[in-house]
Amino acid sequence: MRRLLFWSTVALAAAGVTAALARTGGRSETKILLQRTASWNDVPYIAYPQGQPQLTTVRITIPAHSSLPWHTHAMPNAAYILSGHLTVEERDTGRKATYRAGEAFAESVGNVHRGVTGNEPAVVIVTYAAVPGQKLSVPIDGEEDE
């Protein structure tokens, strides 16, 4: 009985993979979502942090009509909007840019900024190129870490 259940599961999985490949013509698809040498505010990235690389990917859900605390990052990172929209704004210059579901952007390094939502929550995936022990976000003016 276990053997029958195992082979039935294998057959169903194979059928699922075959169906998925049929939808793409039997080929995988690759789409570059973001490729930048500068952040969203056009400030060039200079270098990655020194040390053993550690990539960290987080999912952040930001409620509607709210904002993240003012903060900075010490490493390059990239964000992808899963749902909603997010306006990123710089504290010192007032510069803003809005990103919607399906869009990616390169976050800034070393400048004070935050994300602000509108009438709906935003769900964002962020990947940080840090080193072990490095804080992903540094709050400004005693605000909480994101």
Asked if pLDDT for residue 59 goes beyond 50, the answer is yes
Asked if pLDDT for residue 61 goes beyond 70, the answer is yes
> Which residues fall within 8 angstroms of residue 144, CB to CB, at 6 or more apart?
69
Task: Say what the pLDDT of residue 2 is.
Answer: 43
d(CA 93, CA 67): 17
> Which residues fall within 8 angstroms of residue 11, CB to CB, at 6 or more apart?
none
DSSP code for 38: B
Closest CA to 92 of 112, 72, 67: 112
| Residue range 42-46: mean pLDDT, rounded | 95
| Residue range 50-55: mean pLDDT, rounded | 96
| Residue range 49-74: mean pLDDT, rounded | 97
Asked if pLDDT for residue 3 goes beyond 70, the answer is no
Closest CA to 41 of 101, 139, 104, 111: 111
Quote the pTM value.
0.78
pLDDT digits (tens, 9 = 90+) for 62-107: 999 999 999 999 999 999 999 999 999 999 999 999 999 999 999 9
Assigned architecture for domain 54-139: Sandwich (2.60)
| Residue range 20-42: mean pLDDT, rounded | 84
User: What residue type is 86 in one-letter code?
Assistant: L
Task: Say what the pLDDT of residue 23 is.
Answer: 63
| Residue range 118-133: mean pLDDT, rounded | 97
